[in-house]
């Protein structure tokens, strides 16, 4: 059986891996207006990831205020606005796509496949999504911060398939393996494939399935040939 839809993870899959050093630099930019030491702010961000990724801390400004208060700072409006803007700007620098991402999505669509994105992410991606170059190419986007659930929650996989109006058995799931997403997708009847690009080792992804037994692909362009005629992977 051939596939009717391809569902992509976002970070480290459609985008390049983010090396660990970037997080310190980004944390410094939003810590500065708040007068909070970078390492303390970085820790507050890291420790709150489970809350932020499930939308538990509200919009970005509310999130920054809550985290600042946890660091013992009650920011005034100007400091809060500056830190919020700095955080949004630094996160948006991560929303840059691999060189072959747009072409791969366009080719998959031209073959009649529907496209989904399923991401464990925080509010910054949800607020930015409509402006991204890939947005018009994606038929269904499911973001953890809007759903209140993180991978590998089975409902996330079922939901993106529902929104694509496609049985999970006809979905190919492509991800770098963070959040046990490959097992999660396979557990709901999808065919799961690991994207293991040349920068794969640089990513400090959460709960990544490093021992995933396969299958795997090494570029996004290979996804197109994998579902081509004849397909290298079948549902």
Between 178 and 184, CB nearer to Mg ion:
178
Q: Which stretch binds Mg ion (CB under 5 A): 20-28, 33-41, 109-117, 170-178?
A: 170-178
Q: How far is the CB of 96 from Mg ion (least distance, A)?
A: 14
Between 16 and 178, CB nearer to Mg ion:
178
* 30 and 80 Cβ atoms separated by less than 8 Å: no
176 binds Mg ion (CB under 5 A): yes
List the interface residues with Mg ion, window 191-210 (CB under 5 A): none
The two tokens of residue 109 are: 């669509």
The two tokens of residue 74 are: 């009650």
State the DSSP code for 138: -
Between 75 and 175, CB nearer to Mg ion:
175
Between 170 and 176, CB nearer to Mg ion:
176
d(CA 166, CA 151): 20
Q: How far is the CB of 152 from Mg ion (least distance, A)?
A: 12
The two tokens of residue 40 are: 């303390």
Between 38 and 207, CB nearer to Mg ion:
207
Q: How far is the CB of 181 from Mg ion (least distance, A)?
A: 7
Between 176 and 209, CB nearer to Mg ion:
176
* 176 and 13 Cβ atoms separated by less than 8 Å: yes
Q: Which residue has the tokens 């794969």?
A: 200
* 138 and 105 Cβ atoms separated by less than 8 Å: yes
* 170 and 235 Cβ atoms separated by less than 8 Å: yes
Q: Which stretch binds Mg ion (CB under 5 A): 23-31, 52-60, 169-177, 186-194?
A: 169-177
178 binds Mg ion (CB under 5 A): yes
List the interface residues with Mg ion, window 67-126 (CB under 5 A): none
The two tokens of residue 46 are: 């890291």
- Say if residue 215 is preceded by a cis peptide, omega within 30 of 0: yes
Q: How far is the CB of 10 from Mg ion (least distance, A)?
A: 7
d(CA 33, CA 86): 9
Q: Which stretch binds Mg ion (CB under 5 A): 38-46, 155-163, 175-183, 225-233?
A: 175-183
Three-state SS at 167: coil
The two tokens of residue 36 are: 């909070």
List the interface residues with Mg ion, window 8-67 (CB under 5 A): 9, 11-12
Q: Which residues bind Mg ion (CB under 5 A)?
A: 9, 11-12, 176, 178
């Amino acid at each position: 059986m051939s596939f009717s839809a391809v569902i992509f993870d976002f970070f480290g899959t459609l985008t390049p891996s983010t090396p660990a050093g970037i997080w310190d630099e980004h944390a410094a930019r939003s810590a500065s207006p708040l007068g909070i030491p970078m390492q303390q702010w970085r820790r507050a961000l890291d420790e709150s990831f489970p809350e932020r990724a499930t939308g538990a801390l509200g919009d970005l400004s509310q999130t920054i205020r809550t985290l600042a208060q946890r660091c013992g700072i009650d920011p005034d409006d100007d400091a809060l606005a500056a830190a919020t803007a700095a955080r949004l700007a630094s996160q948006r620098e991560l929303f840059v796509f691999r060189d072959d991402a747009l072409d791969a999505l366009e080719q998959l669509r031209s073959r009649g496949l529907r496209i989904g994105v399923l991401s464990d992410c925080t509010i910054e991606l949800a607020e930015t999504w409509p402006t991204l170059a890939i947005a018009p190419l994606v038929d269904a986007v499911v973001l953890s911060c809007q759903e209140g659930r993180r991978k590998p929650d089975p409902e996330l996989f079922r939901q993106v398939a529902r929104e694509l109006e496609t049985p999970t058995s006809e979905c190919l799931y492509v991800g770098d393996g963070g959040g046990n997403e490959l097992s999660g997708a396979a557990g709901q009847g999808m065919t799961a494939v690991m994207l293991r690009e040349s920068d794969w080792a640089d990513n400090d992804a959460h709960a990544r399935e490093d021992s995933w037994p396969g299958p795997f692909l090494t570029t996004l362009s290979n996804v197109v040939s994998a579902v081509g005629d004849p397909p290298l992977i079948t549902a």
